[in-house]
Each structure stands twice: as structure tokens, then as C-alpha cells.
Structure 1
Amino acid sequence: MLMNRVESALIDSPPRRLLQHYEAAVLVELGGRTPGAHTAELGCGPGYGTKLILDTFGAASVDAVDLDPKMLAKARRRLQRHGERVYLARGSATDLAAAFGPIDGGKDASYDAVFDFAIIHHIPNWREALAEVARVLTPGGRFFFDEVTATALARPTYKALFDHPTADRFSAGEFLAELPRHGLHIGENWRTRIGSDYLLGVATRTQKGR
């Protein structure tokens, strides 16, 4: 689901970039860095999260997908200096094979890490997105996520300013419970903030899958 104009402007603003820098630091604390890793990002937006994956997490490369061509254009400008370390594609987070086909990406067990900077709550079939994350992760690969829960989405400010799927929204507990159903082990590597409005964590792809 595409973001509306208000949210699109917000995610490319200095306050959002500052917050995302903080969130990246929390994710590093929970799951470590990814030096030399081949990674994927769900919903790159204007590319600031992609830049953090390279600069803060230390990844060797990022294949990033987004539905919005305007956001992809911004991301290409922001990430131009990284050259072939970044591949940006228009497509869905629930079908990475289709999005990354030209570079032979999105195959089973393609990535050492997958990053979700508050994108999955925009996807109506969010469970399919988690299944896709698990499919493309290598055994032992890590899923870094920063998510907005149904608790936050029900607040008046969110309802007034932003557009989100209205059915099958997840609580923090529901999101965490869904991870092991797709072979993603979370353990204690998660935390919530502002009550249960926001959920951050790092899950590991198990060796046997489910």
C-alpha cells in the first residue's frame, strides 16, 4: 500500500532521518552489525535506511525494493555514490524474486540479512511478507525490523494524518508470535517503545526453516 502525501513527506524529513539513526543504533545493539553481508531492504523509501545499512551496519551490498517510483528516484540520487553496491527495484516486498529478477536476486536463501524500517505494517498481507523474508534469508541470516503496531495506528493522530490497511493489523505480540511460524527465531532480541506502539527486534533464520 502506497503512503499518502503527508507520510511520504514525513519519511524524507530531518526528524525522520534522526529517528531512523536512533532506531538503527538500537537494532545494532539487539542484533549486531552485518559487515560484508549481502542484504535486502523492504521498502527503501528515499534511501536513507539503505544508506544506514551500508554505513552503520557495514553491509557490502543492498538490494532494495519499493512500490513508489518517486521514492525510488529520490533513493537513486541519495545513493549514487555507492555505485554497484546498491540495486533499487520497483516491486512488492511479498515477491522479491520478481523485483530482483534482473540481478538474479530474490532466490531462496539469497541474503545474509533483510531489513524492514517500518514497512510491513503498510502491507495488507503482512504474513506473506514475513514468509518472503524467511524464504530469501540464508540459514542463520538475520531479519532486522522496526515496526508500527495496531496500537499506534489506532491513535487519533495516525488515523487523521496517514493511510494504512484497516484489516488484520498486528499487535507487538501478534507480530512476534508470527515469526517462528516462518522459521524466524526471535528469542530476547526485541523491545517495544512508547508502550507497545513501536516494536524493534532481530530474528534469526533457523537452520531447518520451520
Structure 2
Amino acid sequence: MLMNALESAAVNSTARRALQRFFELSWLIRLGGRLDGGRALEIGCGSGYGTQLIIERMGAASVDAVDPDPRMVDRARRRLRRHANVVRIVHGDALDLGGALGAEGGSYDAAFDFAVLHHIEDWRAALDEVARTLRPGGRFYFVEVTSAALARPTYDRLFDHPEHDRFAAGQLLAELSRHGLDVGPRWRTFIGSDYVLGVARRAGPSASGPE
């Protein structure tokens, strides 16, 4: 489900970008380490600010990113022109990364979800696709909005989200495990249980970064 105009403005605000850069990224690095090279995937890149952080702060060598909104794809491409040699932005669906990106199994060293999964009606299938494209030992960095937050009046009245099969933090963690993505202790909730972030590893030889 695409963001409405109000949520798009909120996501692209200075305050949201500061939160992403200084709080979320700091926690993700603390829990899962930087990439320092390697190939990364981002689902739902929006205007490309998260993609920029994956290159500049996480140290990815390259990033493939998808978004279902062609307007956001255009904005991301403009933002990331100086990184055009290492970033590929395409219009596509997180449910079909093979079709959108030609992503084969085990294609990526890391995948990123900056609060996108809760917009996807079949979010379990999206996790399956992420797990498929990660190499053994690859990391899935996620920041998500839970059903507790989505039930609050602010979210419910102002923003558009799928009405059914929303996930609590525990449900998301359990689903990650079911798809072979081990979170272990590498996760945290914030503002009660409204938000959850963490780093899961695909089963296999360990990638570099903190255990």
C-alpha cells in the first residue's frame, strides 16, 4: 500500500531524517555492525534518503533499491545522482525482487527495511523474498512500526495502512525466525512496543559484524 500525501510529507521531513540518521542508524550499527563493502538491497526506498545512508554511513559497496511508487523512484534517482555508479533504483515490488531486480537467490550481503514492511499486505511473503535473496550469513536490518502504534488514533486517522494481519513486535520476530533469519538478542523496542528495530542473520557462515 502506497503512503498517502500526509505520510509522505512526514517521512521526508527534516525531523524524520534526523531520527533515521542519528537514532535508527546508530542502533542498527550497534546491533549488526557496518557493512564495509558488500552488496546491499533496500525494499521501499522512498525518496532515497535511506539508500544514501546505506552507502555513506553503513559502507555498502553497492545498493539495489526498489519502490512501488514511480514518483519516489524519480526522487530517489535525483537524490542519488552522485552515487549512480554504485546505486540502482527501480520501480518494483518487494514481493518480486527477481522480477524487479533480477535478484537470484543469495544475491545480497545485507538487506534493509526502513519502516516499509508494515505497508505490505502480504508482509510474510515479502520476508520470504528478502530471505531468499540474502547470502548465508547475510544480515537483514529492520526498523518497523507495530500493530500497537498503528492502532493509535494518529496513525489510524491520518495515514493509510493495511487493516488486516498487522504484526506486533513478537510476531515479526517469530516470522523472521520461521524464514531462517535469526535475530537472537539483536533487537530493541521503543516507545513501549510501538516500534521495533534489529538485525537478523540468515542461517549459514557468519558475516562480519558483532554477534
User: TM-score, normalized by length of structure 2?
Assistant: 0.95
Q: Please list every run of at least 4 consecutive aligned residues from structure 1 whose deviation after the TM superposition is greater than 3 angstroms.
A: none
Matches within 5 A, 1:4-153: 4-21=4-21, 22-101=23-102, 106-153=103-150
RMSD: 0.9
Report deviation, 1:118: 0.2
Report deviation, 1:177: 0.6
What code does the residue aligned with 1:76 have? R
User: Residue 49 of structure 1: SS of its match in structure 2?
Assistant: helix
User: Residue 9 of structure 1: SS of its match in structure 2?
Assistant: helix
Percent identity over the alignment?
Answer: 60
Report deviation, 1:37: 1.2
Any gaps of 5 or more consecutive residues in structure 2? 206-211
User: Residue 84 of structure 1: SS of its match in structure 2?
Assistant: coil
Distance 2:154 2:45 in 1: 24
Any gaps of 5 or more consecutive residues in structure 1? none
Report deviation, 1:160: 1.2
What code does the residue aligned with 1:161 have? L
Distance 1:77 1:153 in 2: 31
User: Residue 58 of structure 2: SS of its match in structure 1?
Assistant: coil
User: TM-score, normalized by length of structure 1?
Assistant: 0.96
Corresponding residue number in structure 2 for 1:160: 157
What code does the residue aligned with 1:150 have? S
Distance 1:84 1:181 in 2: 36
| Number of residue-to-residue matches in the alignment | 204
